Chains A and B, each alone.
Chain A
Amino acid sequence: MKSLKRHLPWIIFVVALFWSLSLGRYAMGPVEVIKLLAARMGLEHFVGHQSPEMQLVFFNIRLPRILMSIAVGSGISLAGVVFQALFRNPLAAPDILGVTAGGCFGAALSIMLLTHLALGVQGSAFVFAIAAVSIAYVIANHSWDKSSSVLVISGVVVSAVFQAGLSMLMYFAEPYDQLAKIVFWTMGSFHIVSWAQVKTTLPLVVAGSCLLTVFGWRLNIMTQNEEDALSLGVDVNKWRLFYVVVSTLMVASSVAAVGSISWVGLIIPHIARYLVGADHKRLVPATAVLGGTFLLIMDTIARTISASEIPISIVTSIFGAPFLGYLLMSKKGGLSAGERAS
């Protein structure tokens, strides 16, 4: 029973992946999907030739989007688990250091000024997301208090400034064109995803996820009191910088590609903790798998339920928020689990 619970994330992931691959506005069932994949793997002789239109929809539209939703879901959930451990705060989310506010500001700025550049919006969002977190880090570093809570406060400060900047840009935006684009971008969506975005986002997210999985065990020490960690010979500040840099790169590349996505980074670590416990050795990979699965399912709903797309943050909030409520009432899980890492 216990091993089933541990393997549950993987089982759900495989089922969700196959389900998602065979769903979409373009009618293409599981049989066609298997044939398409088999044909691509050189088994065309056995499964027959598939129509070029179907190949195009599957390989150029559906597949990059699915890969992207898995990567982004894993990336921001991992950042969530890292931040909850670093700040010993169950409500810490990946955007706590201003990465989302910075990214949204960068995107809006580019929508207003650099619309002709290919990947201009994505590039600008990425740069400003990194800049926001760097500023927060510099402010915290200049404080006499070296505790992690100062970093959180400077994150709040930076978020507020970039949020104000975003509001100002929206005030000056041309309402019939630019403003609509900015609003849509801040709500996040996967419907614009193509291989170009996958190529720029996936390497960072995969590399970051591997690093965090390999060094996940150290987060157990980071959740303890800073004096205790120091007494174990761990340089808390150095490791904190390492985790913040890796998480920020992952979240910034995600936000830059698909806009801001709410709830996922906050809630997935809690669900994972409920399933595999608070030991980061197991918690980190479980969070990555669950985050990818959750966003994959949410995006499949967003793109199939009606002919018009539903912004992804609406779907993640509708399903994510009640689930967090359920966890709050549940005796087994529990938000304080983040502080009980062994």
Chain B
Amino acid sequence: MKLRIFLILSVAAGSFALLSMFPGIMYPETGKRTVEVTDQMGRHIVVPKSVTRIAAFHHMGSKIVYALGAKNMLVGQAFFRNEGEAIARMDPAFAGKPQLLQGHTVNNEAIIALKPDLAIVYASFDISEVNRLENAGIIVVAIKGETFRESFESVRLVGRILDREKEAEDYIAASERLLNLTKIRLERIPAEKKLKVIFSGPRNMYTVATGEMLQSRVLEAAGAYNVAQGLKGFWAAVSPEQIVAWNPDVIFLGSGLDSYGVMEMLSNAQLQGVKAVQNKRIYVFPSNVGWWDYPAPHCVLGTVWAAKTLYPEQFADIDIKKTADEFYKKYMGYTFTSMGGKL
């Protein structure tokens, strides 16, 4: 019996000694040339300048990496559904890359096997997952894009880390140009003529974007007033009565929807008193190859599209498809049309 206890103890001590001989397994060695940044979770991080392999867990991270011309560094896919499928059709190298997320869950072993130097996560990512990735020797940077300013900050942050600051400023400038183009045209519209809108969400037609969501910022920049602005949280459920009481001029539907559409809303007996339904002003937000109402600088395209949809006469000279084609070509590598994009 004593011998058995002795054997077990010596095996345990042996394994511990063996593990401690390889500290690199648990603790990453940081290179000498580093860049120090504060990410958008407010964490101070030190990143070596030799980053070559990036794991992005959110499409915003991937979009920024693409826009900065570093798409070959991505070790996995991080574009949602239609957008991922569209890119996979264009790029066999992308199609061959693995998916890093299953639902909200990360398979740590699979990630570590891909040997990324850097992981880009969204600021709402589970902090315990961040800690697990860091314990595995992967440096994690969090980005956020609930406002335009935050989106541009994310681009600057990733630009600094990848030493592509010039590309980052170029991407931001192009996005700001589109916002300004909209702003100048909207100045001609008096405040009392601004349209009242709601943005219906994915659960059902009675869930609306609140004032805390990016959709509200996009609509605001497009010269509209989100009547659900005072609500808090994420896609708030409201009663049909509330929608009739708000009486919006225009209703936008989220582009990720598959359970209801314009026709269902127009024929809904409960909403016949709503101006948007009476005047048939219900529009599905683009696009079929990646959402324009979702955190990422690409949502500036959503702003231009929404502004033109709301006030067509002010934007008669703007061709949205052409604008999108140019923006996509420069910052995704393919034109919007060639990806199969439709408005």
Contacts and interface: CB of A to CB of B under 8 A. Distances in A.
Nearest to A27: B245
19 contacts: A25-B238, A26-B241, A26-B244, A52-B273, A56-B244, A57-B244, A60-B269, A60-B270, A61-B241, A115-B259, A176-B202, A177-B258, A191-B206, A303-B239, A308-B231, A308-B236, A308-B237, A308-B238, A309-B206
Contact of B242 (A26, A116, A175, A177): A26
A281 interface: no
A171 B241 contact: no
Given A56-B244, A177-B258, A181-B203, A25 B273 contact: no
A184 B203 contact: yes
Given A56-B272, A56-B273, A180-B203, A191 B239 contact: yes
Contacts of B237: 184, 189, 191, 308-309, 311
Contacts of B203: 180-181, 184
By CB atoms of chain B within 10 A, which of A25, A181, A307 has the most?
Answer: A307
B233 A308 contact: yes
Given A24-B241, A25-B245, A179 B259 contact: no
B42 interface: no
B238 A307 contact: yes
B99 interface: no
Contact of B256 (A57, A177, A303): A177
B161 interface: no
Interface in B245-264: 245, 256-259
A163 interface: no
A115 B206 CA distance: 16
Contact of B204 (A25, A53, A174, A192): A192
B258 A307 contact: no
Contacts of A194: 268-270
A62 interface: yes
Interface string A290-317: 0000000000000100011101000000
Closest 7 CB pairs of A and B: A308-B236, A25-B242, A53-B273, A309-B237, A115-B259, A26-B245, A177-B202
Contacts, number: 97
Contacts of B258: 115-116, 177
Interface string B85-121: 0000000000000000011110000000000000000
A26 B210 CA distance: 19
A181 B237 CA distance: 11
B80 interface: yes
By CB atoms of chain B within 10 A, which of A111, A177, A309, A311 has the most?
Answer: A177
B148 interface: no
What is the size category of the interface that chain A forms with chain B?
35 or more
Contact of A309 (B80, B210, B230, B238): B238
A24 B202 contact: no
Given A24-B241, A56-B273, 16 more contacts: A25-B238, A25-B241, A26-B241, A26-B245, A27-B245, A56-B270, A60-B272, A61-B244, A61-B270, A62-B241, A116-B258, A180-B203, A184-B207, A308-B232, A308-B238, A309-B238
Given A174-B81, A177-B257, A57 B103 contact: no
A153 interface: no
A195 interface: yes
B57 interface: no
B62 to A, nearest CB: 15
Interface in A46-99: 52-53, 56-57, 60-62, 65
B235 interface: yes
Contacts of A65: 239
Interface string A1-30: 000000000000000000000001111000
B242 A307 contact: yes
What is the size category of the interface that chain B forms with chain A?
35 or more
Interface of A: 24-27, 52-53, 56-57, 60-62, 65, 111, 115-116, 171-177, 179-181, 184, 189, 191-192, 194-195, 303, 307-309, 311
A158 to B, nearest CB: 26
A175 B237 CA distance: 18
Interface in B266-301: 268-270, 272-273
A176 B270 contact: no
Contacts of A60: 269-270, 272
B244 A53 contact: yes
Contacts of A62: 241
A56 B223 CA distance: 30
A286 B204 CA distance: 36
Interface in B128-174: none
Contact of A181 (B202, B233, B242, B273): B202
Contacts of B312: none
A172 B102 CA distance: 7
A319 B185 CA distance: 53
Nearest to B205: A192
A307 B273 contact: no
A53 B274 CA distance: 9
Contact of B241 (A57, A174, A179, A311): A57
A333 B254 CA distance: 51
B56 interface: no
Contacts of B270: 56, 60-61, 194
B228 interface: yes
Contacts of A307: 228, 230-231, 236, 238, 242
B240 A191 contact: yes
Given A60-B270, A308-B231, A308-B233, A175 B103 contact: yes
A253 to B, nearest CB: 20
A194 B264 CA distance: 13
A181 B269 CA distance: 22
Nearest to B235: A180
By CB atoms of chain A within 10 A, which of B257, B258, B259 has the most?
Answer: B259
A25 B239 contact: yes
B71 to A, nearest CB: 23
Nearest to A28: B241
Nearest to B257: A177
Contacts of A195: 269
